[in-house]
């Protein structure tokens, strides 16, 4: 078959698949939407499909938060970093530990009793290729099933009542450097999940599995051919320029077959707009970290992509950091909200990128509505085009082979990594856990070998201000105004929870769990937990009492030195020196902490 005929055949199949949108499909998300409106529960990782992490519970207020105390605790049985959050479905709580990925069901009517514990088979090859600790970002729920990913790439559907395995699927191969750390999202009849491994030459992809059988239904890659990307050259929009992407929009931005060795892994968070029927997620760094080895914009790494979850076909794609030379992964969450810009209200998403800029996009077509720095030290770019979103890179901060480029802000961990922000619809502010860090970056040539690191850079990271590595901020991404900030000694790697009681909750890397007045940032309550916090707080109501829960257990990239016993400053992809003194304040150990009045 010639290439032209093959292309026509593929497009016919693509359009036929798109027509299936109107066909009857199991609507698991309708059940989840309804359940997420019950403020007593927490049924999705980000609370809702919009990833707002905001609760309408208001029993805990700015007046009584000082009376919070520990209601109960539970060990997770593992020592490494806990980046996820529990779910509360009815009278049951579900959560997943770091590797070896124990999954627990706890009866809230009988605290201390573990209803079931699932222990997946251990794969010794997986931890060795987990670049930034053996973390996991939580389980999902739908139609009586707990959906879980584990480090070696297996996806499990478990009976929520018994923990029985209903099906298993494979989404990664550690022998190729692939792992899975993200929390899946359930949309209609599909379980959607990405892949990790950008530091091992892994080409990123997003996979959709059948909720009832585990069968792979579609897979969309982050770079390569239009067929692999699931891009329609005439209908998928290049959101930077508001026009069709055209043929081979990715292949023309890479040199030769370089795209096969690491383009945009997808290990962050996934949001969904049921009205538009669009799924939103970000893609990570291109491989290698040495930009001299991969000339071009390297599309569609470092991008936000919107897809039809029924077919996987992309509606639009917006690239934030073309030809990345700093490891500014674009995987951070896309929070859906209604934005008023120039007097007009539009369905929008807010994305606080690793590169230090806050992007507000029209979620219908990816059009840029606003862009501002959310940390004042950002210097890798001198400006972002307010129409196209293209950065004007400072040549002095562009990395290249065999040159040690000094004082780049932010560092590779970004001004925010995966630690999720929260949106309060009353104040219309975002409450963002951030990093406040810079770096020196020396790139060098590197060769690819499957399952081995494919980095090509030596980094050293350090605080952007004396003894300040993290800031919790209240931020308006439309105006670019920071309303208030709390400075912290270490990176704020915990997620944020906001509530209708006017109280926000977050944790610090050195172990403080805090309740904060959302109006002014005043700390209303704090407790030093057994280990540093990189998990995400949730809140729920049980027997007429409001509780707040968080997984503690220091680790992740932010604390990889402590987690993995590394001591050389440039180890851990440059992160170890940044937190060299963290062990003076906290230690390893996973614990579920639950608070109440």
Distance CA 232, CA 417 (A): 31
Contacts with 523 (C-beta within 8 Å, 6 or more apart), sequence order? 486, 514, 515, 516, 517
Contact yes or no for 502/424 (Cβ under 8 A) = no
| Biggest CA-to-CA distance, the chain | 73
Nearest to 294 by CA among 261, 242, 258: 258
* Ramachandran bin of 553, using left for φ above 0, alpha for ψ from -120 to 50, beta for the remaining angles: left
Query: Does the annotation count 327 as an active-site position?
Result: yes
CB atoms within 10 A of CB 233: 15
Nearest to 454 by CA among 236, 234, 285: 285
* Ramachandran bin of 343, using left for φ above 0, alpha for ψ from -120 to 50, beta for the remaining angles: left
Distance CA 330, CA 324 (A): 10
Beta bridge partners of 316: 237, 306
Residue 10 three-state SS: helix
- Given 152, 189, 327, 375, which residue is catalytic? 327
DSSP assigned state of 468: B
Nearest to 177 by CA among 412, 450, 446: 450
Residue 375 three-state SS: coil
Contact yes or no for 223/205 (Cβ under 8 A) = no
Distance CA 156, CA 166 (A): 8
Distance CA 144, CA 473 (A): 37
The torsion of the CA quartet 208, 209, 212, 213, rounded to 10 degrees, works out to: 160
Alpha carbon 468 to its chain's center? 23
* Ramachandran bin of 145, using left for φ above 0, alpha for ψ from -120 to 50, beta for the remaining angles: beta
DSSP assigned state of 511: S
DSSP structure string for 212-237: TT--EEEEEESSS-HHHHT--TTTSE
- As given in the structure block, the two tokens for residue 57 are 């519970």
Q: How far is CA 185 from each of CA 312, 489, 528, rounded to the nearest angstrom?
A: 14, 34, 32
Task: State the number of CA atoms in the 13 A half-sphere of 556 facing the CB.
Answer: 29
Distance CA 304, CA 320 (A): 8
Alpha carbon 249 to its chain's center? 25
Distance CA 542, CA 565 (A): 40
Nearest to 559 by CA among 581, 591, 537: 581
Place of tokens 């004042």: 376
Distance CA 226, CA 333 (A): 25
Tell me which residues are annotated as active site. 327
């Amino acid at each position: 078959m010639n290439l032209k005929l093959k292309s026509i055949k593929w497009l016919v199949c693509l359009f036929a698949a798109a027509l299936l949108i109107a066909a009857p499909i199991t609507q698991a998300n309708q059940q989840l939407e309804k359940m997420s409106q019950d403020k007593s529960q927490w049924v999705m990782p980000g609370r809702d499909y919009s990833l707002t992490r905001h609760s309408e519970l208001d029993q805990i207020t700015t007046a009584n938060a000082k009376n919070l105390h520990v209601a109960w605790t539970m060990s997770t049985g593992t020592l490494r970093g806990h980046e996820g959050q529990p779910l509360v479905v009815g009278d049951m709580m579900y959560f997943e530990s770091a590797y070896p990925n124990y999954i627990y069901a706890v009866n809230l009517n009988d605290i201390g009793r573990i209803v079931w514990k699932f222990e997946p088979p251990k794969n010794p090859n997986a931890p060795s290729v987990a670049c930034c600790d053996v973390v996991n970002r939580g389980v999902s729920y739908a139609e009586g099933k707990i959906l879980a990913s584990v480090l070696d790439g297996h996806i499990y559907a478990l009976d929520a009542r018994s923990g029985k395995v209903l099906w298993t699927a494979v989404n990664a191969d550690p022998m190729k450097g692939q792992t899975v750390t993200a929390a899946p999202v359930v949309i209609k009849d599909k379980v959607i999940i990405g892949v990790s491994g950008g530091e091992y030459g892994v080409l990123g992809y997003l996979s959709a599995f059948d909720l009832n059988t585990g069968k792979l239904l579609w897979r969309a890659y982050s770079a390569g051919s239009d067929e692999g990307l699931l891009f329609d050259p005439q209908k998928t929009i290049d959101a930077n320029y508001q026009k069709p992407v055209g043929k081979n929009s990715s292949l023309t931005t890479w040199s030769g077959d370089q795209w096969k060795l690491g383009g945009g892994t997808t290990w962050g968070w996934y949001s969904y707009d049921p009205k538009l029927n669009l799924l939103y997620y970000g893609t990570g760094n291109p491989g290698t970290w040495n930009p001299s080895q991969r000339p071009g914009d390297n599309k569609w790494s470092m991008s936000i992509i919107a897809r039809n979850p029924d077919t996987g076909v992309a509606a639009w794609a917006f690239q934030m950091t073309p030809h990345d030379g700093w490891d500014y992964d674009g995987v951070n969450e896309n929070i859906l909200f209604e934005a008023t810009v120039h007097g007009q209200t539009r369905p929008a998403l807010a994305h606080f990128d690793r590169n230090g800029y806050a992007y507000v996009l029209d979620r219908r077509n990816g059009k840029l509505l606003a862009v501002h720095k959310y940390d004042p030290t950002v210097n890798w770019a001198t400006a972002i085009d307010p129409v196209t979103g293209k950065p004007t890179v400072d040549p002095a901060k562009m990395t290249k082979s065999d040159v040690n480029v000094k004082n780049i802000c932010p560092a590779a961990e970004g001004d925010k990594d995966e630690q999720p922000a929260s949106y309060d619809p009353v104040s219309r502010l975002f409450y963002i856990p951030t990093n406040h860090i810079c770096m020196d970056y020396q790139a060098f040539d590197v060769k690819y070998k499957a399952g081995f690191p494919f980095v090509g850079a030596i980094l050293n990271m350090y605080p952007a201000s004396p003894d300040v590595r993290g800031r919790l901020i209240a931020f308006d991404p439309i105006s670019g105004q920071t309303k208030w900030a709390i400075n912290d000694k270490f990176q704020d790697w915990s997620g944020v929870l906001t509530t209708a009681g006017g109280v926000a909750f977050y944790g610090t890397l050195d172990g403080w769990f805090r309740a904060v007045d959302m109006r002014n940032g005043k700390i209303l309550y704090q407790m030093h937990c057994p280990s540093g916090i990189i998990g995400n707080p949730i809140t729920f109501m049980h027997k007429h009492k409001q509780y707040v829960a968080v997984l503690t257990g220091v680790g992740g990239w932010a604390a990889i030195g402590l987690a993995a016993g590394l001591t050389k400053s440039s180890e851990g992809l440059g992160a170890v020196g940044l937190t060299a003194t963290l062990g003076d304040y906290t230690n390893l150990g996973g614990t579920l902490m639950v608070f109440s009045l």
